[in-house]
Each structure stands twice: as structure tokens, then as C-alpha cells.
Amino acid sequence: MSVTMVRQKVKDGTVEEAEAAVRDMFAALNRVRPEGLRYASTRVVGGSTFVALFELAEGIEDPRPAIPEYARFLEQLKDWVDGPPVIERLDVVGSYNLFGTQREESAVR
């Protein structure tokens, strides 16, 4: 199983706006409840860097682009970002209730 991590710094003075937009977008996800998606957004304490983690179930196409609030969030984000995002794929080695069930062959015994 793999998880994608996106780190994005926003400009000083836009943190509160960005946080509000993230909350709105997650409220929409909670209403729509797309299948096969695990998604979280965090902010580094005291800073203006956001870290998002998401995992898609195997064989699932990313449902986020079809959600209008997600598209609006991405459009707003263009005005707030301070540099390019850092996008990394992570292999989950272990997880306790954070990510989906690991495949049997990758489970640590």
C-alpha cells in the first residue's frame, strides 16, 4: 500500500484563509463520502506549511476532482502558495488505524 504526501507552504498572512478552505473542502468530503479515499490535512504547528496525506484503495480512480469544493479549493490555493509543492509517495511500513489494511505480503510479522 502506498500513501501520497503533499507538503505545501503558503504565504504569510494566508494561513487562516487556507485553513478555512481546507475545513470547507473536508466538510464537502464528509457530505459526499467518496469510496476508497483516506485523506487528511495537517499544518505544522506555528508555521505556514501544510502536509496532506491521502491513500486511494487499489483500483479506485481519485474521486476528488469530481467534487466542486475540491476544485474550488485548488483554484484558491493558487493565490496562497509560496513555492511549488513537495509530493512524495510513501510505502506504509506499519500503521495503527491511520491507513487502510495492509496487503498480507507487506505486513510485518
> For residue 31, what pLDDT is reported?
95
Please check the confidence at residue 9 and state whether its pLDDT lies above 70.
yes
> For residue 100, what pLDDT is reported?
65
> Which pTM was predicted?
0.83
In this predicted model, what pLDDT tens digit does every residue of 40-76 receive, in sequence order?
A: 999 999 999 999 999 998 898 999 999 999 999 999 9
pLDDT interval class at 2 (50, 70, 90): confident
Q: How far apart are CA 91 and CA 73, in angstroms?
A: 27
pLDDT interval class at 34 (50, 70, 90): very high
Burial class (CB in 10 A: 0-12, 13-18, 19+), 25: buried
For range 5-25, the mean pLDDT: 95
pLDDT interval class at 98 (50, 70, 90): confident
Three cell numbers, residue 81: 502558495
The structural domains of the chain, with segments of one domain joined by +, span: 2-106
Classified by CATH at the fold level, domain 2-106 comes out as Alpha-Beta Plaits (3.30.70)
> For residue 94, what pLDDT is reported?
86
* H helix count then E strand count, the chain: 2, 4
